[in-house]
Structure 1
Amino acid sequence: MKLHIKNMVCRRCITAVENELSKEGYHIHQIELGEVTVAEDLNNSQLDKLNTSLKHLGFELIDDRKSRLVEKIKNIIIDLVHHNEQNLAINLSAYLAHQLHYEYNYLSNLFSETEGTTVEKYYISQKIEKVKELLIYDELTLSQIANRMGYSSVAYLSSQFKKETGLTPSHFKNIKDNKRRNIEEL
C-alpha cells in the first residue's frame, strides 16, 4: 500500500517516518520524500491511528490527489535545491511539468490555490534558505554560492536575498543571530 505523507522534506524526515512505521509494526518496501510503500493493506482504523502518531512528529497522511500533487511539487523543489549539486539545465516550469506529467499552468494554479503562494516564490524561498546555510558554513565565496545556486551574477543573488530577508548576504553572514527557518515553515 502506498502512503502519501505531508511535510517529509529532508533525509531526517525519512528516518523519523521510517522509525514510526517500524514502531507500529509495518514493513516498508520503499520510502522517499512524501511517499512510503508498506507491505500491509491498512484499514481506516489503522490509517487514523498512524496519522495520529505521525501528526505528533509534524507529519500527516494525505488522501486526496491534489494535496499529493502539491506535496510532490514541494518535494521536487526541495530535492532540487537542497540535495542536488547540479544547476537546473532547463527552467523550473518545464522541469516540474516533465517530472509530474502535467501542464505547468495546472501545477502552478493548483499550488497557488492550495499554498497561498506561487511555485516560483516557494522555489526562491528554498534557494534563499540554502544560500543562508552556505553563508553560515562559510566555506564558499559569494561568487561560488551564486554559481552553485544557478544565479546569473552575485548582484542578482544579493538583490533577491535582500528582497527576501531584508539583509544583504554580507550583513547576514556577519550577524550572530542568523536564524534559519525550518523548511516546513516555508
Structure 2
Amino acid sequence: MLELHIKNMVCNRCITAVRNELLASGLHPVVVEMGVVQLEEEELDEESRIKLGARLTDLGFELLDNNRTRMIGQIKTLVIEKVHHSDDLDDKVNWSKLISDQLFHDYNYLSTLFSSVEGITLEQYIIRQKIEKVKELLFYDEFNLSEIAVKLGYSSIAHLSAQFKKITGQTPSQFKKTRAIDMKRNSLDQI
C-alpha cells in the first residue's frame, strides 16, 4: 500500500475532490483523509506521479515530495517520543525551539507545513498527544491529577483540566469514573 501526503486538504469537499481525481487517474484509493491518501498500488512510477501532481495542482492541492512527508513523520515521532516516552516533560518545554533544533528548519515553516497537511495546527497536535497521555495515566490510576499535571508540564491542574475538557468533553474526574465502562482512548497514529 502506498501512502501519499497532499497539502491544502482542509475540508470534506477537499477529500471528495482528491478521491475523485485519484479515481479519474485510474488509481485505487483505500483511505482518503485530511492530507493523507493510501492507495492499493504499491508505488507510482515517476511519470504517473508527475501527472497526478499536476492534476492535483490544478485543483489547488499539492502532492508533497518524500522529504516533506518524511519531515511530518519526524515531527510526529518527536512529539510522541517526548510526550509518551519521556519520564517527565519540563514545564518550560519550548516546543518550537525543540522541534526546529531537531529538524534543522525554521519552526514557522514546519508548523505551516504540518497544518496544511494534517488539517490541525502543530500546537493542537501536541495538546492532543498530551491529553492521550493524561487519559492513559488516569486509566491506570498510578498518579493523582496534581502529579499528572507536573509530569506533563502543565502549569496547573486547572490548565490541564480545561484542556482535557475542551478535547474530550469530560473533566478528568468524569473520565476517571467512566474508564471501566468506556476507555475512550485513541491510538497515537489516529491523533
TM-score by length of 2: 0.64
**Larger CA Rg, structure 1 vs 2:** 2
Tell me, in whole angstroms, the C-alpha distance in 1 between the residues paired with 2:79 and 2:170.
24
Measure, in 1, the Cα distance between the counterparts of 2:80 and 2:93.
17
> Could you report, residue by residue, the CA deviation over 1:131-175 in whole angstroms, capped at 9, with x for unpaired residues?
000000001000000000000000100000000000000000001
CA RMSD of aligned residues (A): 1.8
Q: Which has the higher contact order (CA 8 A, sep 6+)?
A: 2
Partner residue in 1 for 2:36: none
- Structure 1's unaligned 5+ residue stretches are 7-46, 49-61
Shift of residue 63, structure 1, vs aligned partner? 6.3
Equivalent residue, structure 1, for 2:85? 83
Identify which of 113, 128, 133 aligns with 2:131. 128
Identity of aligned residues (%): 50
Structure 2 portions without partners, runs of 5+:
5-41, 44-63
Give the Cα separation in 2 of the matches to 1:145 and 1:166. Answer: 19
Query: In the alignment, does 2:183 pair up with 1:181?
Result: no
Poorly superposed stretches of 4+, deviation over 2 Å: none
CA–CA distance in structure 2, aligned partners of residues 115 and 163 of structure 1: 20
Q: Answer yes or no: is 1:110 the counterpart of 2:113.
A: yes
Which whole-Å CA distance do the structure 2 matches of 1:91 and 1:79 have between them?
A: 15
Contact 2:164-2:170 within 8 A present in 1 as well:
yes
Q: What amino acid sits opposite 2:136 in the alignment? A: E
Asked if 1:71 corresponds to 2:76, the answer is no
Deviation at 1:86, TM superposition (A): 2.8
Q: Which residue of 1 aligns with 2:23?
A: none
